Structures are given as structure tokens and as C-alpha cells.
Amino acid sequence: MISPAPTNFAAQLAQATSALHVQAERGGVIADLLRGRGTIVSYAGLMRNLLPAYRALEAGLEQHRASPLLARFVRPEVYRAAAIEADLITLGVPDQPLLPEAVAYEAAVRQAAESDGALLVAHAYTRTLGDLSGGQILRNLLGRSLGDVAAHLAFHDFPAIADIAAFKAQYRADLEIFGTAVADIQPVLNEAVLAFGHNIAVSNAVAAQFVVSA
Ligand code: HEM
């Protein structure tokens, strides 16, 4: 039997998005929060404006639960929509305005969930490894922006994941399997670039909407 050629798909995803990752980390409200210059209102604004994309991602994954291509990425233990809804109540600002950038991000995720859903993997990758990597760094710095309420937030807690490093290693291994199974990896790499672009746009728009003091 001839084995499929290795694609190094996980490495290609990281490479395709690495320049954008720097932008995501260093700009917008994410940069404010990393520097301790966010506010409860700006953080809640970020969460409110990521919520529709998470809902679309999680609904899209569930829709493809029976698909051999996507089943590995149907991991409810990383779903974040319920955590965000709870956190918006905890933060006391549940009715933040929904910005056009959030609507565009949600629309992109919905579109990616269409047909065989292969493009959805790019969105799942972006949020899942993001939340389990930079998200965990941000978690430790949030108290500087938010004060005591930071300790009561659910978004950065993954109670159903005992070992985050092991989970990420498995996720990357699953990406490799996907990379050998999918007809063409290039559109998925392109979609990951788009997913990062949407994250940057939301972060920038939230920063502009909820201007923080210098
Ligand atoms: C809060 C600021 C951020 C910091 C400090 C940060 C930091 C990091 C670090 C250190 C890693 C490497 C983890 C590892 O290899 O195990 C990583 C990976 C990653 N981050 Fe971020 N990040 C941030 C924001 C973001 C954002 C906003 C996104 C989403 C657009 C994101 C998406 C990702 C992804 C997809 C990976 C996996 C890369 C790979 O394939 O190896 N990160 N991040």
C-alpha cells in the first residue's frame, strides 16, 4: 500500500499565518489588554464581538459531526460560546454593540461551514490553538486591566482538558491527518489567513470603539 505523502499541514498553517499572528498579538484591543491598558468595557466589547463567530463555528462543527474529514475537530471541550455568554454577565456589560467586523467574521465562518466544511477547519484551528496558546498568556495579564473580576471569568478555563500541551499536540496531529485527507490544502491555508484577518479587524474595531487612555 502506498502511504499518502506527508503535507506538514500544521507547519504550513503556522507559516501562512505567522506574520498575521504578530499583528494579532501587537495590535488592537489585544495589545491594550496585554499591556494592562484594557478596561472591562473594552474586554467585554471584544468578547461580545467574537461571540457570533464562535456560535457559527460551533454550530458548523456540530453540523459536520458525522463527517470523517471534520469529526476530529468536533471538540466540545474547547467550545467557548457558553463561556463568553456567562462572562458578559459576570462583567456586567451584556449589551455591547455588535460591530460590522463581527458580522463579517460570523458570515465568513458560516460560509466556511457550507458544502463539505473543509474550510471550517481553518477557523477551528485559528481560535482553538489561539485560545490554548496566547489566550493562556493573556489570562495571566487580564487582572491588570480588569481587576478582581478577571479571576471569575470562564473564557480562559478549559475544565474538560487536563493537559493543554497534550491536547494541542493531538490537535496538530489531527491537522496532519486532515491535511492528507482533504482534496486540496491551499484553500484551507487561504482561509486561515482570512480567519486571522477577521480576528485582527475585530480587535482593531473594538479598540477604536472603546478608546482607552494612553
Ligand atoms: C494575546 C496575544 C497573543 C499571544 C501572547 C500569543 C502567543 C502565542 C504563542 C506563544 C503561541 C505558540 C504556542 C505553541 O506553539 O504551543 C501561539 C500560537 C498560536 N496563536 Fe497566538 N498569541 C496571541 C494572540 C493570538 C490571536 C488573537 C490569535 C487568533 C487570531 C492567535 C492564534 C494562534 C494560533 C492559531 C496559534 C498556533 C500556531 C501554530 O500553528 O503553531 N493568537 N500564540
pLDDT tens digit string along 142-190?
Answer: 999 999 999 999 999 999 999 999 999 999 999 999 999 999 999 999 9
CA nearest neighbour of 42 among 51, 32, 54, 27: 32
Ligand 1 neighbourhood includes 128 CB (under 6 angstroms)? no
Residue 168 located in a structural domain: yes
Residue 3 located in a structural domain: no
Residues of the chain where predicted confidence (pLDDT) is lower than 50: 1
Please tell me the predicted confidence (pLDDT) of residue 81.
98
Compute CA 123 distance to the chain's CA centroid, rounded to the nearest angstrom: 7
Please tell me the predicted confidence (pLDDT) of residue 1.
47
Residue 120 located in a structural domain: yes
Overall pTM surpassing 0.85 (yes/no): yes
Q: Name which residue sits closest to atom 6 of ligand 1, judged by CA.
A: 134
Contact 207, 42 (CB under 8 A): yes
Residue 175 located in a structural domain: yes
Check which CATH number belongs to the domain holding 156 and give it.
1.20.910.10
Ligand 1 neighbourhood includes 25 CB (under 6 angstroms)? yes
Q: Name which residue sits closest to atom 8 of ligand 1, judged by CA.
A: 134
Contact 204, 42 (CB under 8 A): no
Residue 150 located in a structural domain: yes
Residue 1 located in a structural domain: no
Ligand 1 neighbourhood includes 206 CB (under 6 angstroms)? no
Ligand 1 neighbourhood includes 130 CB (under 6 angstroms)? yes
Ligand 1 neighbourhood includes 138 CB (under 6 angstroms)? yes
CA of 3 to the centre of ligand 1 (A): 31
Per the structure, how many domains does the chain have?
1
> Measured on CA atoms in the order 76, 99, 214, 40, is the torsion positive or negative?
negative
Measured distance CA(58)–CA(53) in Å, rounded: 9
**Which residue range is the domain that position 175 belongs to?**
9-209
Please tell me the predicted confidence (pLDDT) of residue 210.
83
